[in-house]
Amino acid sequence: MKRLISERSVWPSPHFVQEHRQDMVAVCAELVTGLTSSPARLAPKYFYDALGSRLFDAITELDEYYPTRTEAAIFESRVREMARHVAAGAVWFDLGAGSCAKAASLFGVMRPGAYVPIDISVDYLRGSVAALQERHPALPMLGLGLDFSSALELPAEADAWLSGHDLRAAARCVFYPGSSIGNFAPDEALRLLGQARALCDGGGAGSGLLIGVDRVKAKAVLDLAYDDALGVTAAFNRNLLRHVNRLLGSDIQPAHWRHVAFYNEAESRIEMHLQAVGAQTVAWPGGQRTFADGERLHTENSYKWTPEAFEGLLRQAGFGEVTHWSDERGWFSVFWAQAS
């Protein structure tokens, strides 16, 4: 006991580890490759500068954008059933935690043993985790700055933190709400789910993945959810260009690009593009590209799944028993996938 207390005191809670460092040379190279590809493309991760994150929060309040409130209602009404699957005392790994609000709303029923929010930047987590720690002073918390979209792997310091809290053998719950898995192409989603399974395997019995998934539905509903009447999603899409200008030093004129979003039924995905209004040349230090009138720049895919197809993906990733809960309209599902 004495040993435990002194080891724990080495880790004041919350503790933070910044694993990901933005490499500006690599970022610029990636942006130039995207801008000069045919068709041009920019990765959706560049939506989320400070203004983009606020615009996304505004999207979640729109009448047309049903996923956030539908998922919240599923959690609210089914959390007790979910708690029969998720082990009390589990270490929760919250992927893309942001404000940490979704996980925190489940703590009362789920009773985690530790909380590990993961986001690309620890700076973004600092404020939210500090406030959460005040509400849950006894819950060990570790904020991890990690770009899990390229690889979901715990840094050595996180392993040491778990050992220091005697949590190496505890069950693990990988929590990935918000249907962000839809922003990965199926092969990339499979890779990420496989890594989530490996993360679960590092823990004890009863580990698994709790994940929110947006479902295939009528095209009219999907089209509106990504092209709202107020134009908030259009602003979110165009803001990517401002962010790219800041990162790359380019001179793209957001006003000269039109928001285009539609459900591609053959691919089961929403596609978001920006379409050039008039021919234009975009320049950046060391390069340029001319876009013809009407030419498109691809900014995001958001894949929609049937429960059967997503369960198949979970099994392919190595998960065992799968359970899911959904809303009355069958628009959204929350899956629990047991690791072993």
Footprint on this chain of ligand AVI (rule: CB under 6 A)? 59, 67, 178-180, 182-183, 226, 233, 300, 302
Q: Which is nearer to ligand AVI, 114 or 272 (CB)?
A: 272
Helix (H) or strand (E) holding 299: strand 296-303
Whether 16 and 170 have beta carbons less than 8 Å apart is answered as: no
Q: Which of 195, 212, 172, 169 is nearest to 71 (CA)?
A: 212
Least Å from the CB of residue 263 to ligand AVI: 12
H or E, element range at 31: helix 24-36
Nearest approach, Cβ of residue 290 and ligand AVI (Å): 28
Q: What's the per-residue H, E or C state across 66-109?
A: CHHHHHHHHHHHHHHHHHCCCCCCCEEEEECCCCCHHHHCCHHH
To the nearest whole angstrom, how small is the minimum distance from the Cβ of residue 20 to ligand AVI?
A: 18
248 close to 284: Cβ distance less than 8 angstroms: yes
Task: Quote the strand ranges of 35-171, DSSP E.
Answer: 40-41, 91-95, 114-119, 142-145
Q: Which is nearer to ligand AVI, 162 or 193 (CB)?
A: 193
CA–CA gap between residue 156 and residue 165 (Å, rounded): 14
Strands 208-214 and 332-338: antiparallel
Q: How far is the CB of 128 from ligand AVI (least distance, A)?
A: 17
Nearer to ligand AVI, 59 or 224 (CB): 59
The CB-of-174 to ligand AVI minimum distance in angstroms stands at: 17
Question: Would you tell me the crossing angle of helices 232-248 and 50-59 to the nearest 10 degrees?
Answer: 170
Q: Compute the least distance from the CB of residue 87 to ligand AVI, in Å.
A: 27
Closer of 15 and 273 to ligand AVI (Cβ):
273
Strand 208-214, strand 296-303: pairing: unpaired
Q: Are 270 and 264 in contact (CB under 8 A)?
A: yes
* Residue nearer to ligand AVI on the CB measure, 133 or 326: 326
Side chain identity, residue 108: G
CB 300 to ligand AVI: min, Å: 6
Residue closest to ligand AVI, measured at CB: 302
Rounded Cα distance between 328 and 295, Å, is 40
Nearer to ligand AVI, 18 or 60 (CB): 60
Minimum gap (Å) between residue 302 Cβ and ligand AVI:
3
**With respect to ligand AVI, which residue has the nearer C-beta, 207 or 299?**
299
As a whole number of angstroms, the distance between CA 233 and CA 211 comes to 24
Q: Nearer to ligand AVI by C-beta: 99 or 183?
A: 183
Encoded tokens for 186: 């199926």
Instruction: Output the six-digit token pair for 174.
Output: 């990988």
